[in-house]
Structure 1
């Protein structure tokens, strides 16, 4: 607190006291009657506005330097035998994407596996003479993945007939190195909706080029390095699970590094690590620019992203510590049919370029809003905008918290607030008028076009199944404009809710015009009750129902068991019990089973259902006023386009792109169910 001097008469004031400088923001004025007036010195609002604009420009400069300004890629000649060549890695990306979408069970995936195998053999042939390179084409047997946390809560993931490429590099004359290995992992398979340049042919390309480099100086290593090129990741992390539970090399791994993608460009970022800190600490000690996104791990663990990576298997199933890297630029076209044009700088992976990503978070949020509605029509159209606006406001306030007080005192509040309102108004006008379209090829609207053959409720084959085409979108909003351009007899609304087992279409567009071609009755999966008995030998008189399921040639099955009626179950594949009787978790009253496999995967399964004591059928307490849920419901998917689907796809507007997530249907889906009172 400043001490104020007592006022004196002008006659008694000395010249020195009159000329004494006052280092203060206040001016003290005295009058003849000794009254004091204190006024604050205000800085110019224009000065603060210019300072604020300078801060924005400087922030963009930092963003540009960290995200847009990329080092030039190196050729093989410039990199040398021990150097990483981005252009050589890009050749792998182009070769893999030219194969087209290569989902599990497809011919294209077989060709992709052969390409990676040939590249691995070439690395083995050109290695340093003091290094050992081993290549293993690993065929995994059937298994069950029951991670049970995050997005896999209440789910059992079953796989069969998966193939992986495993490459191990170690020094020839250090036998102990093979018992202490570092795992570098990514996946070859893609979704059926896209060629996978981003997710994750780019990761595979990085690993192949990195393996080539390491094979030239592995004789100096103290540890072996294992490169896992797995398949089945898009179907539920099945490739990583089959490797850590079945491959003999998995017991030698001490740390895991996972490479992933949630976009198709930019630099990689560390977004998950642990559980032990030493992996992060060692990375920080050697990385040139060590930093990461601390909030990413919490968001992934909460399931808010609705996705997961192989890193979850390595930490929860194998008990390893490690690092998980991904890049997120242009995430609006992630898992879509849009043109996946990767910047060459994607090759500069996180070991050299980790950076704080708050400046890029807003852009990524806008990109991810195109896949905001996991149950199409189930989310209010305004919710995504509100969430985005709140996050922007919070982050902006926290970022500028030290400047807001100065802005408040300076008198620049008015100009800044006025400019903000003007920008908001101009943005609304430009978007609503169509000057700036809401969607483009780079920020495409994610849509699904599925030919559905619905045999649910037709148990026993007494009624003909219904066939129709469904058009729906994970992007909130109506499809009126899209349907006007496509035509083909689509009718949109919320009247017909479609249950896809793992999700529901609460708003969409349907048409049954010319939808009878491209499928046959023999494709419809069957549910057969083999027996329904009561175990009288025990004290509880337990009821057990034996059910067999035939996928009829499909390579993907999604099955839901009513947890209110069934307290437990077992699941057999080729007479092998993959899921034993034990405590099962559920989500929204259902336990979900997802099966996927290769060309030679099993297609017939045996399920034993153990009824709950308070089931509606056993207790006779069914409420006739409520619609009774089925006992079992299922969906099988075929990666096949019917004539009607092809015609709709050919008319799809350029601002729309096919999207496929881990729970999405493929182009041809069959629905069936088993009622409680079968």
Structure 2
């Protein structure tokens, strides 16, 4: 099982195609050599947050490359290049990461390309969009996220510029800016640009790591796009399990796919790199980590797909749908073939299999001996004990690990250690639980079966059949939840059941029972292993990588929670995949002690070795490349009510766990570390970190924002307050509004000609707070008028509770913040995201 599983994982996720040189790919093919050349240049600019000169340089480079491609394009291909500067706008998504927020933007610049055939009169009426983002968080040069995507797009444009003469439709490429600030780039294009009405479908390219295979992890709702990808992709990598995990919120992230689906109602495909996920949004997301063959894999799949879609009349008939449901089931087999079917067909298939399985079980129980039903129930109880002991053993280790090690997640840089730390205890506990269930069942059968010679064989078979019940339950829950990934449970239920029927079924009640045949496993398990090994091995690795940014409110949860998530995941995968093998371990073919004892001793040994490695720090918990996510912020609090100020350095960590070695030097430098109720960064709060007062010089004080009440009046039972906000030199800010008192919001940009940013609209909040996030280019506005409409019946009297909380950010490293960064070891790296502050943040509050 292990060998086959690892081989499948290697073929499906690890093995990459050979990168093609420019001369090998030719004019019509995709060359990774050319794409990597673009990536090297784009990463050389450094971090490219919205409003930075680095982003301007990257966009200018993209335009230069596109102009060069245009000059060499096929004479029968019409290639249009456009720089697009978006008007101020606001984006209010209904679900996911940005629910309960208003995402506003201004002065965003994008680059667009449209390729069409000069010999097709109506080619521009219908288009497929290929979209990715040029901007990065302020901490990353974007080797993976998403320089790898943009570089691949440039090479796709080059190839298509020599192919598109036969297209019936056009292909639009969007190199957008603003994705990292709340998907603003995609929103501004799809709501403002004059090409938006021609878009019939889209591809979104993303990265939640650096390199590896570009995996399809969200798709639909239209079936045709998925079918075309399945037919044309040379090396498909796709699985609906990733979609189920992503949409369930286990991975806290969002992509432009949500905007195109929710705002425009388009059908599309969402691809992402997930290898090296621990470097996501840090300085380690660099060019050097993008493995050779990564970009070639993307190009080999996307290029033929685009050629087919742009040449097919079907594209023109794709409609829009506001439904959030993605109605396709899809998965690849060994990275060579794709299986696709609709949810409607899945319901029929899954329901049919479920009903037939239930009928078979009920029928077999009716025909069986009178002792069979109690025996099957006892066997099922044994499987329950198997799960309970396995999960509890792994979770117990997860809870103890922070007490035994310096860091709560000591395996982050070496994920294989998680197998020894959590997998070994899970197997050990599972063997104990299963053995208890086996002995209970055997003792019952000894009393119930006259022929004692057949007791061992009957015990094995009832324990084996109980696993069918387990998978039947898992399958039934998946069907009930309408999970597309229920095909996994179906495979583990149906194929072994058929093998069992072929090898184990008795033709007569008088036939003497025999031990389970090894051929039952050899026939029953290969297909489920091939279908699920890559998922079972990849998913824990992806979730372990996410531990770098697991703590969304630094220090806000127990240090063992992240470990518990990984422990439960690994334990559940082992319980599912090893369940059919467990009935075999109670045999005594060679030694008197049986296989269970030797398995138990082996797992104890593996666990103790792994625990020794992490507790004695024989390998580091973090490395320079797989570092601990860190916030270092120079905070200036400018209290508008008390007309006072405070300046300090705040250090906190997104990677869960206590404050370890990295804070020793901070403590020696005057930092106070431990629990704290501040600062409140509007979008999140630090619960445990380190702080140190910092001198406030005049230049920093001059950069503080200003909140001024322009008017506050009540007409009838309706109170309205107007506030003037001056953000000074900041182009990025977040404002939280108390929705217990405020029901509607209206924001104007104050310039020579006042522009509306947020129309007057009711606002909804999460936990009584609505957050307005704003980001703009370097020429964006700095003065805003905010009109607040109060809930009716609210008294006009003053209240001590803050009505507004404001954070303005500057991408400036102050001397004190720079000194703090030098105090931290190499394994601490700044982490950035749309809701986190830059290295200089001003905090203001306004009460009424």
Give TM class, smaller chain: 0.7 to 0.9
Q: Which residue of 2 aligns with 1:347?
A: 295
State yes or no: 1:491 paired with 2:672: yes
State yes or no: 1:217 paired with 2:163: yes
Give the structure with the higher percent helix: 2
CA deviations over 1:63-119 (Å, ceiling 9, x no partner) = 223333322211111211111110110111110111111110011111111001111
CA deviations over 1:224-283 (Å, ceiling 9, x no partner) = 111100000000100000000111111111110000000012111111111222221221
Question: TM-score with structure 1 length normalisation?
Answer: 0.86
Alignment counterpart, residue 592 of structure 1, candidates 765, 768, 771: 771
State yes or no: 1:278 paired with 2:224: yes
Shift of 1:573: 1.9
Alignment counterpart, residue 626 of structure 2, candidates 443, 447, 451: 443
Q: Which residue of 2 aligns with 1:427?
A: 610
**In 1: Cα distance, 2:587 partner to 2:123 partner:** 65
- The unaligned stretches of length 5 or more in structure 2 are 302-331, 336-533, 589-593
**In 2: Cα distance, 1:90 partner to 1:408 partner:** 55
Alignment counterpart, residue 562 of structure 1, candidates 738, 749, 755: 738
Q: Which residue of 1 aligns with 2:359?
A: none
Q: Which residue of 1 aligns with 2:370?
A: none
CA deviations over 1:276-331 (Å, ceiling 9, x no partner) = 22221221122234452313333433444332100111111111001000011111
Mapping 1:463-612, distance limit 5 Å: 463=644, 465-486=645-666, 487-513=668-694, 515-517=695-697, 519-536=699-716, 541-574=717-750, 575-612=754-791
- The unaligned stretches of length 5 or more in structure 1 are 1-54, 623-627
Q: What secondary structure is seen at the aligned counterpart in 1 of 2:171? A: strand
Shift of 1:569: 1.6
Q: What secondary structure is seen at the aligned counterpart in 2 of 1:613? A: coil
CA deviations over 1:338-367 (Å, ceiling 9, x no partner) = 262211222034575764543222222211
CA deviations over 1:463-497 (Å, ceiling 9, x no partner) = 2x111111100111122310223543211011342
CA deviations over 1:172-229 (Å, ceiling 9, x no partner) = 1012221111100000001101111111111000000011001011112222111100
**In 2: Cα distance, 1:619 partner to 1:452 partner:** 31
Of 580-589 and 344-353, deviating more is: 344-353
8 Å CA contact 2:676–2:686 kept in 1: the answer is: no
Greater C-alpha Rg: 1
Shift of 1:518: 8.7
Q: Which residue of 2 aligns with 1:657?
A: 829
8 Å CA contact 1:518–1:641 kept in 2: the answer is: no
Q: Which residue of 1 aligns with 2:838?
A: 666
Q: Which residue of 2 aligns with 1:393?
A: 571
Q: What secondary structure is seen at the aligned counterpart in 1 of 2:137? A: coil
Q: What secondary structure is seen at the aligned counterpart in 2 of 1:367? A: helix
Shift of 1:159: 0.4
State yes or no: 1:418 paired with 2:612: no
Q: What secondary structure is seen at the aligned counterpart in 2 of 1:434? A: coil
8 Å CA contact 1:639–1:668 kept in 2: the answer is: yes
**In 2: Cα distance, 1:437 partner to 1:472 partner:** 20
**In 2: Cα distance, 1:329 partner to 1:608 partner:** 46
8 Å CA contact 1:330–1:442 kept in 2: the answer is: no
8 Å CA contact 1:518–1:643 kept in 2: the answer is: no
Shift of 1:619: 7.9
Of 142-151 and 272-281, deviating more is: 272-281
Q: What secondary structure is seen at the aligned counterpart in 2 of 1:493? A: strand
Mapping 1:623-638, distance limit 5 Å: 629-638=801-810
Q: Which residue of 1 aligns with 2:16?
A: 70
8 Å CA contact 1:268–1:325 kept in 2: the answer is: yes
Shift of 1:374: 0.2
8 Å CA contact 2:16–2:294 kept in 1: the answer is: no
8 Å CA contact 2:20–2:296 kept in 1: the answer is: no
8 Å CA contact 2:284–2:626 kept in 1: the answer is: no
Shift of 1:593: 0.3
Q: What secondary structure is seen at the aligned counterpart in 2 of 1:405? A: helix
CA deviations over 1:409-452 (Å, ceiling 9, x no partner) = 56422222221222122111110101022111232111111110
Q: What secondary structure is seen at the aligned counterpart in 1 of 2:652? A: strand
CA deviations over 1:628-661 (Å, ceiling 9, x no partner) = 5310001000001001111222232111111111
8 Å CA contact 1:518–1:642 kept in 2: the answer is: no
Q: What secondary structure is seen at the aligned counterpart in 2 of 1:175? A: coil
What is the root-mean-square deviation of aligned Cα atoms in Å? 1.8
Mapping 1:292-331, distance limit 5 Å: 292-331=238-277
State yes or no: 1:89 paired with 2:35: yes
Of 56-65 and 348-357, deviating more is: 348-357
Q: Which residue of 2 aligns with 1:235?
A: 181
Relative to 1, partners in 2 of residues 1:323 and 1:481: Cα closer, same or farther, differing over 3 Å?
same
